[in-house]
Homo-oligomer: A and B are copies of this chain.
Amino acid sequence: MKVFNEATVKNTYHMSDAIQDIEQLFTDMDGIRLDQRIVIPTGDGAKSMLYMPCVHTGRQLGIVKITSITPDNPQHGRPTTQGNIIVTDLETGEHVASLDGSYLTRLRTGALSGIATKYLSRKNTTTLGMIGTGGMAFEQLLANIEVRDIDRVILYNRTIAKAEDFKSRVVEAFPKLTVEVVDDVKQLVEQADIINCQTQSAEPVFDADTIQPGTHINGIGSYRPDMKEIDNRILPKADKVFFDDIEGVKEEAGEIIEANEKGIFKFEDVDGDLKALSLNGTLQRTNDESITVFKCVGAAHFDLAVALGAYERLIQQ
């Protein structure tokens, strides 16, 4: 078994690869076999282990993503979530690689937003607003930059100092970008062409009434029924609403579950999943005035796409 740590995977496998590999997988889904993920509590509160297996019989490769959730880790300078992906060659039965799964999870989550942005945001998008500047934010930025000519980024975070830290990181990585931090989310909402939310907020992080025509919203933060970062009053105003994985969103996305319960927006009102958006050109944005929304919770086959893509590039080196 070869072990590829985060630095190695990062050097070899990039956002453009992840977007391409996920869209490629959408054309070749028949061979995918998976099962419900397993969650085992390992301590108090959310402390747990998650196991998400998924195989591709056509490509004869399979993965299992093993994720630990350790809520008190930040107090000790360690990340809350740590992922590892084991790749098995189904042709030989050999367990061939261990890939760092933390970067790959952030990258694939970014790539999902990137695909949504590519097909739902206005082509003349230049300003990206980011609400939440935590662990998932950098790859969300990378994804939007990959598919749109972003020249300005507006950042909002509950703790302003963290937004400033993130700004420094962005400026260092992309010196040509104009990056600003705002202390009132309304300033961001009114100016951004894309609003990308990556918080774990239990309350909406923006006010639906302040959303401008032509805005595209990516919501990737809420992944539990108690998390509701998107103001779900935006959903009936949106011309297009897509979910990365419809069954996953129904079970996990707090603001969408609430919207469905309250009758604000029923699950069946969704325009489709990310696969449909990627493959069917008629589902994409048609005018500059539409409001569009993409809600993402993740699913094992997205992990499969990036893990196999990364593995195949890593072993060719």
Interface residues of A (CB under 8 A from B): 1, 3, 5, 33-36, 38-43, 47, 49, 51, 53, 55, 57, 60, 62, 64, 66, 68-70, 73, 76, 78-82, 84, 86, 88, 90-95, 98
Shortest Cβ distance from residue A21 to the other chain B in the assembled complex, whole angstroms: 20
Q: Which residues of B contact A3 (CB under 8 A)?
A: 1, 3, 98
| A138 CA to B272 CA, complexed, in Å | 56
User: Are A68's CB and B93's CB within 8 A?
Assistant: yes
Q: Which residues of B contact A51 (CB under 8 A)?
A: 38, 51, 53, 64
| A40 CA to B33 CA, complexed, in Å | 7
| A51 CA to B79 CA, complexed, in Å | 25
Given contacts A68-B90, A92-B70, are A49 and B55 in contact (CB under 8 A)? yes
Q: Which one of A39, A42, A88, A94 has the greatest number of beta carbons of chain B within 10 Å?
A: A42
User: Are A94's CB and B66's CB within 8 A?
Assistant: no
Q: Which residues of B contact A94 (CB under 8 A)?
A: 68, 78, 82
- Given pairs A3-B3, A38-B38, A42-B60, 9 additional interface contacts (CB within 8 A): A38-B51, A42-B90, A43-B57, A43-B90, A49-B55, A66-B95, A78-B92, A82-B93, A82-B94
Chain A to chain B: the 5 pairs with minimum beta-carbon distance, closest first: A70-B93, A68-B93, A84-B95, A35-B38, A82-B93
User: Are B33's CB and A42's CB within 8 A?
Assistant: yes
Q: Which residues of B contact A5 (CB under 8 A)?
A: 1
| A81 CA to B92 CA, complexed, in Å | 10
| A266 CA to B176 CA, complexed, in Å | 76
Q: Which residues of B contact A33 (CB under 8 A)?
A: 40-42
| A93 CA to B68 CA, complexed, in Å | 5
User: Are A42's CB and B62's CB within 8 A?
Assistant: yes
Nearest residue (CB) in B for A5 is B1
11 contacts between A and B (CB under 8 A): A1-B98, A3-B3, A33-B41, A35-B38, A35-B39, A42-B55, A43-B60, A64-B64, A66-B88, A68-B93, A76-B92
Q: Which residues of B contact A73 (CB under 8 A)?
A: 92-93
Q: Which residues of B contact A57 (CB under 8 A)?
A: 42-43
